[in-house]
Structure 1
Amino acid sequence: MTVRTALGNGEITLSDVEAEPAGAPRESAFKHALEVLEERRTEFNEQGFVPRDFMTLLKKAGLFRVSVPTAFGGDPMPPAEFLKLVEQVSEVDPATGWVASFGSASGYFASLPVESQRKLYAQSKDIVFAAGMFPMFEAEKVEGGYLCTGEWQFASGCKGADLLGMGLRGGPETDGKPLTALVDRNAVEIIDNWDVAGMKATGSHNVRADRVFVPDEMTFVRGGQPTVDEPITRYPGLAYAAQVLAVVSLGAARGALDYVTNIGSASSSITGGTAKGNRAAYKSGLAKAEADLRSARAFFYGSTEEVWAKAVAGEEITVQDKALLRLAATHAAHMSREVVLSAFNIAGTGAIFEKHPLQRFLQDGIIPAQHAMLQEQTFEASGAILLNLDADLPSFP
């Protein structure tokens, strides 16, 4: 019998890159990251992943410690503040925004045993985590842990990650929710197969494991009960996971509208017509899209702030509260997609070319609504919860 572990006994080694001190240094680091992103976004798209050196810049900007509990020396960020940072990244490059959105993913670690969390955060509070959760495989239970074998899809950001998660099939002990096995990135093989039309730079490749040992203490239930009680761990984890993806589409839509407002409106037709911004269809199309985006954004952040206030106050966060977070996230993704398409529509024929600035927002911005957590069925599931009916959708809300 062979057991593959890169470090032996399921050990994990993390990098020593740390965020800049909170306040002006961290804000400056974030601004610098955005400037570099604007210069390199085409490079990231062409190579199909966000490289580790840029992930270091995002770490220095504090984006990967936003869900670390204060109990372990963290300085957790209110969800709305983090979501707005991801939105800003997505306005420059939505695919990189998608990868940056997993800065909140350490919130999943709250379901690990307390000692496991302490061990991880003692090494680093700036952990880049990527996971291939599906399909879920049945791991072989052995003394002290599991032997994991399988190939998991959609591990966004895996090439720039420190830790990888693999989805295991849960049972009665997990209330049917998936179990996540946490491993060092060098313990698995990345299968370079991300060949897509949009969100290319997310590098959402498959990851493969062959009898990789994962100790019991390095597994957790995705969306399970936190073992640490703080506002950031009270905030609904699965709803937050949907929100961080949806906000990417808000950023993409804003990027598209900014282009057609500030640049595209001055363009003239190849046939010699007046500037496009002077046309009735352009003006009304832009106005309607702006109203749609601002409305979706208001619902999205309003719901976030309401539930965060409950988390801070230690008040009950109801199933209906969670459903509204999911509804606002799905609505944001779908409405943003319509806004991006509206921007493409009024931009005219020039926008069809591969290197047109709108193509970045078009190709990436229509993708989030395709994600399982934001697809059409989540509207129905949200409505069911609001009517006090069974959502009939796994792990919802």
Structure 2
Amino acid sequence: MDSEITLGDVEAAPEGAPREAAFQHALEVLKERRDEFGEQGFVPRDFMALLKKAGMFRVSVPQEFGGDPMPPAQFLKMVEQVSEVDPATGWVASFGSASGYFASLPIESQRALYSKSKDIVFAAGMFPMFEAEKVDGGYLVTGEWQFASGCKGADLLGMGLKGGPETEGKPLTALVDRNAVEIIDNWDVAGMRATGSHNVHADRVFVPEELTFVRGGQPSIDEPITRYPGLAYAAQVLSAVTLGAARGALDFVIEKGAASTSINGGPAKGNRPAYKTGVAKAEAQLRSARAFFYEATEEVWAKAEANEEITDHDKALLRLSATHAAHESREVILSAFNIAGTGAIFKSHPLQRFLQDGIVPAQHAMLQEHTYEASGALLLNLDAGLPSFP
């Protein structure tokens, strides 16, 4: 089966006020539909179109191809805002930066893709990696890949392949049209349900060699957005989801939860010492982690803009700040749940959304506890001990 790339015709609104208005409209629609997304288990294509209009899927498209590359901190704050409303949708929106991976495609392949659309929704099931059959002009790809978040709303899908001598053993990603593969509906989870991270199955799908790339490989275009470390950015966008979820949870206990009273007739919860102390500590914890996160981001982006060397030490700080933000934000969410009291255990309670979804990102391989150790190793000029780190 051949995989001919076809892309949608939805485009981002013009930069400036129209695009900002499109983003605010998407947030308002999300407030109305987030329960729907959770119940059906995926973010649908019509809502993905609203995020496209808000410019969220062209933030890593190089200027060379008519893109509107966005400073990473600006995009990460957009992901936060979406996640404050619904973390699972924020997770899907965070892949708006994933077109940055395409920078390691041949220049002509990038030009061909972006001539069809600057607003490409990309989802990937990278693991397990399969051995593809090498044929004239490309590969025949067969396998079933897990955790393809956002696949039902995607335009393009990526599938992980084992690399060979030509990639120095590094894994390849094969790009295919979403209609060339089968989505296996098996995403049965309690947290991040709306991400629709189903399996995808391919049966002898032909992928031209020029539509394969090494994930995080050497970019073929030299611009600030392609100089910014791609794998670190991939960890950051997931961490931003937890930052947003923590903000949403904390705002709830400050703005609404504090006024509620208990069934035993006690004072309003906000007047209780434990509630006030809990809110203060959580606020300080979240703001501190967020400050480190954006400090590291801005420092490395300044180097990318100035075309200065971005060292492993710089990348280690990006990874460390992302891991730290995810874990500290998870603690903030749990603190909000704790001080909210017994009412928060009900499925219908507003905090359940942030609890079930917001604690998930720190479980991701790019943000798990071992990435603290790997970051520390690099700060000590030792081997990270993890492949493709930082």
Question: Which residue in the other structure is 1:362 paired with?
Answer: 355
Q: Distance in 1 between matches of 2:365 and 2:165?
A: 24
Question: Cα offset for 1:175?
Answer: 3.4
Partner of 2:30: 37
Q: 1:238 aligns with which of 218, 231, 237?
A: 231
Residue in 2 that maps onto 1:178: 171
Deviations 1:59-89 (A, max 9, x none): 0000000000000011100000000000000
Match of 2:368 in 1: 375
For 1:133, which of 123, 126, 132 is the aligned residue?
A: 126
Q: Find the residue that maps to 2:372 and give its secondary structure.
A: helix
Structure 2 counterpart of 1:17: 10
Deviations along 1:193-223, one digit per CA (max 9) or x if unpaired, are 0000100000000000000000000000000
Whether 2:156 is the aligned partner of 1:163: answer yes
CA distance in 2, matches of 1:128, 1:196: 23
- Please give the alpha-carbon distance, in whole angstroms, between the structure 1 residues aligned to 2:234 and 2:178: 21
CA distance in 2, matches of 1:365, 1:261: 18
Q: How far does residue 174 in structure 1 lie from its aligned partner after superposition?
A: 2.2
Aligned to 1:47: 40
Out of 257, 263, 274, the position equivalent to 1:270 is 263
- Match runs of 1:1-397 below 5 Å: 4-5=1-2, 10-397=3-390
SS at match of 1:149: strand
Matched residue SS, 1:151: strand
Aligned-pair CA distance for 1:231 = 0.2
Q: For 1:154, what is the secondary structure of its paired residue? A: strand
Question: What amino acid is the match of 2:80?
Answer: E
Structure 2 residue runs without a partner (length 5+): none
Paired with 2:368 and 2:387, the residues of 1 have a C-alpha distance of 13
CA distance in 2, matches of 1:170, 1:196: 31
2: distance between equivalents of 1:367 and 1:129? 21
- Aligned alpha-carbon RMSD (Å): 0.6
1:176, distance to aligned residue in structure 2 (A): 3.2
Aligned residue for 1:65, secondary structure, equals coil
Residue 171 to residue 392, structure 1, CA distance change in 2 (3 Å): farther
Shift of 1:115: 0.1
Structure 1 residue 11 displacement after superposition: 1.8
Task: Give the distance between the partners of 2:253 and 2:171, measured in 1 at CA.
Answer: 43
Q: Distance in 2 between matches of 1:14 and 1:48?
A: 23
Deviation at 1:172, TM superposition (A): 3.7
Separation in 2 of the partners of 1:318 and 1:12? 36
- Give the distance between the partners of 1:172 and 1:238, measured in 2 at CA: 22
Counterpart of 1:335, as a letter, is: E
Show CA shifts across 1:322-373 (max 9, x none).
0100000000000000000000000000000001000000000100000000
Q: 2: distance between equivalents of 1:218 and 1:291?
A: 46
Separation (CA, whole Å) in 1 of partners of 2:110 and 2:162 = 22
Secondary structure, aligned partner of 2:36? helix
Shift of 1:97: 0.2
SS at match of 1:110: helix
State how far apart, in whole Å, the 2-side matches of 1:172 and 1:224 are. 15
Shift in Å at residue 177 of structure 1?
Answer: 2.5
Amino acid at match of 2:195: T
SS of corresponding position for 1:181: strand
Superposed displacement of residue 386, structure 1: 0.4
How many Å apart are 1:144 and its aligned residue? 0.3
TM-score, normalised by the number of residues in structure 1: 0.98
Q: Distance in 1 between matches of 2:91 and 2:163?
A: 27
List, as ranges, runs of 4+ consecutive aligned residues in structure 1 with deviation greater than 2 Å: 171-177
How many residues are aligned here? 390
Whole-angstrom distance in 1 between the partners of 2:347 and 2:171: 40
In structure 2, distance between residues paired with 1:322 and 1:177: 19
What is the CA–CA distance in structure 1 between the aligned matches of 2:85 and 2:68, rounded to whole Å?
A: 26
For the residue of structure 1 that corresponds to 2:285, the secondary structure is helix
Secondary structure of the equivalent of 1:323?
Answer: helix
**How far off is 1:178 after superposition?**
1.6
Q: Look up the equivalent residue of 1:55 and give its one-letter code.
A: M
